[in-house]
Structure 1
Amino acid sequence: MASRTASCSCGQLSIEVEGEPGGVGVCHCLACQRRTGSVFAALAGFSTPYKVTGTATEYVRTGDHGARFRFRFCPVCGSTVFHTEEGYEDRFVAVAVGAFADPSFPPPQDSVYDCRRHPWVQLPAGVIVYDKDPT
């Protein structure tokens, strides 16, 4: 099984995941816009196991439906690299697509919080769009 490695800008923090992503999506919620400093977050979900190298600073945010997400970012360069949902850390990790620095990475299959999408952002054909979080 092939592995992929995502890392922060300075290389201090990285995560190695196995296989293909279980899903790739973009989120346009205001929290993701603030967290990334961009107009949306692009995330890829992977099943465990995964291997983290380096030191991360953590930030926990509670989502609209009460789920708690623990974001890990580099304390040196500030890049967000991955996050987990509390209670599911042993099954699933979401990795920032940009941290793979791979232009051939698979495109998103879904887009959430489309109600917050900037009107000039164009999604690839076939992306399933949700006005808010479907869960």
Structure 2
Amino acid sequence: MTTLIGSCVCSEITFSVEDQFAYAGYCHCSLCRKSSGASGTAIGGILSKYFKITKGQQHLKRYHRSADTVSCFCGLCGSTLFGEKPSINRVHIRYGALNASPSLLPQAHMHVASKADWYEITDLLPQFEAFPPQ
């Protein structure tokens, strides 16, 4: 199995993740928009056991943004890197933090009910008002 490497902008934090993503998509929720400063973010969900911080653990900051999500970012450069989902034993990797493309590309748009009104989705991927059905 291929191992992907990711990092923050300043490269003080690096991580590795096995290329075994269970799902991937574009999230347009207001929290992803705020944390990314963009119309949303591309994420891939993976079992926690396939993810590891390889450098810079001391620089990693955590923000408990909801009962189900802990946003993790670099305390030096501010890059958002991943979200911990302890209740489902998953990590949501921000695809933009990866140094190479994962094999599973985004499959859908989620939380489009709260997407920015100035952003128009123009691809043909399925769109879901909240989370896609399991």
Report TM bin, short chain: 0.7 to 0.9
The answer as to whether partners of 1:14 and 1:81 remain within 8 angstroms in 2 is no
Q: Which runs of 5+ in 2 are unaligned?
A: none
* Structure 1 counterpart SS, 2:33: helix
Residue number in structure 1 paired with 2:25 = 25
Q: What does residue range 8-19 of structure 1 map to in structure 2 within 5 Å?
A: 8-19=8-19
Residue 65 of structure 2 aligns to a residue whose secondary structure is strand
Q: Over residues 77-133 of structure 1, what are the superposed CA-to-partner deviations in whole Å (9 max), with x where a residue is unaligned?
A: 000111111333xx32111010014367643112111123345433532x2211123
RMSD: 2.1
For residues 130 and 52 of structure 2, the distance between their equivalents in structure 1, rounded to whole angstroms, comes to 31
Question: What's the TM-score, normalizing by structure 2?
Answer: 0.82
Confirm or deny that 1:59 pairs with 2:59: no
Give the match's secondary structure for 1:87.
helix
Alpha carbons of structure 1 residues 21 and 49: separation in structure 2 relative to 1, 3 Å: closer
Cα pair distance change 1:57/1:117, threshold 3 Å: same
What's the CA shift for 1:36? Answer: 0.9
* Alignment partners' CA distance in 2, 1:10 and 1:86: 27
Choose which of 92, 97, 105 in structure 1 pairs with 2:95: 97
> Which blocks of at least 5 consecutive residues in structure 1 are unaligned?
none
The residue type equivalent to 1:122 in the other structure is I
In 2: Cα distance, 1:72 partner to 1:123 partner: 30
> Would you tell me which structure has more helix in proportion to its own residues?
2
Alignment of 1:1-135 (within 5 A): 1-47=1-47, 48-52=49-53, 53-54=55-56, 55-62=59-66, 67-88=67-88, 91-102=89-100, 106-118=104-116, 120-125=119-124, 127-134=125-132
Distance 1:123 1:25, change over 3 A: farther
User: Between Structure 1 and Structure 2, how many residues are aligned?
Assistant: 128
**Is 1:6–1:95's contact at 8 Å kept on the other side of the alignment?**
no
Amino acid at match of 2:10: C
